[in-house]
Amino acid sequence: MVDFSLWDILRNLLMALRWTVVLSLIAFVGGGIVGALLLFLRLRGGRFANKAVGLYVQLFQGTPLLMQLFLAYFGIALFGIDVSAWTAASVALTLYTSAFLAEIWRGCVASIPKGQWEASGSLALSFGEQMRHVILPQAVKIAIAPTVGFLVQVIKGTALASVIGFVELTKAGSMISNATFKPFVVFSCVALLYFVLCFPVSLYAKTLERKTHGRRA
């Protein structure tokens, strides 16, 4: 047993917290880019592309993130490619995030009244011009709150990366707990750090949601 003070525990957890933040940002930004491409394909790619993207979204929404992490870590290795826990976690979380963001944004675009499409179409605007000048400015305002809110789910989802050996906040907590035999103290600190990380984001998302509903009322 290693004798760690409370400060020693917190200091080591804070070092691991950096990787939780980095992994969350990679998944969120990468998922946003892929999600935007999926949204474009669904809106403009034709019937086959629409069905393919729909299947992609259902696949990632309908399977546990833990299984996706296992497949990314162990599945890619079957092809003789050496995959680190960091790479596998980044890929799996990015794809997982992209599926949810694509569906969130599709719903926001679909919420724009049909009359907006018809009015912009009557002005002989191309699809790109309709999206850029009419649809997206309205859809983005609606999408901000749920998008920011989903970031909380991404942050909490990074905890599952500990199962494949990536040392982030949860994995560090498990390692420190095994070394100190103080699981209650260690995981209370882990929970507190997750709360400190997620609560401001959640609060901001609710504030944005109230503002959005107020403008639409």
pLDDT tops 70 at residue 216: no
Q: What are phi and psi of 182, to 5 degrees?
A: -125, 65
| Mean of per-residue pLDDT scores for the chain | 92
Give me the sign of the Cα torsion angle 58, 130, 110, 92: positive
Highest mean pLDDT pick, 78-92, 133-147, 184-198: 184-198
Q: Give pLDDT, residue 45.
A: 76
CB 16 within 8 A of CB 171: yes
The residue-averaged pLDDT of 164-189 equals 96
pLDDT per position as a tens digit, 49-58: 999 999 999 9
pLDDT per position as a tens digit, 25-43: 999 999 999 999 999 999 8
Distances (CA, A) of 132 to 45, 108, 135, 153: 17, 15, 7, 29
Question: Domains (ranges, CATH) in the chain?
Answer: 6-216 (1.10.3720.10)
Q: Rounded distance, CA 38 to CA 56, Å?
A: 9
pTM: 0.90
- Residues with Cβ within 8 Å of 48's Cβ and at least 6 positions away in sequence, in order, are none
Residue 215 confidence class, pLDDT cut points 50, 70, 90: low
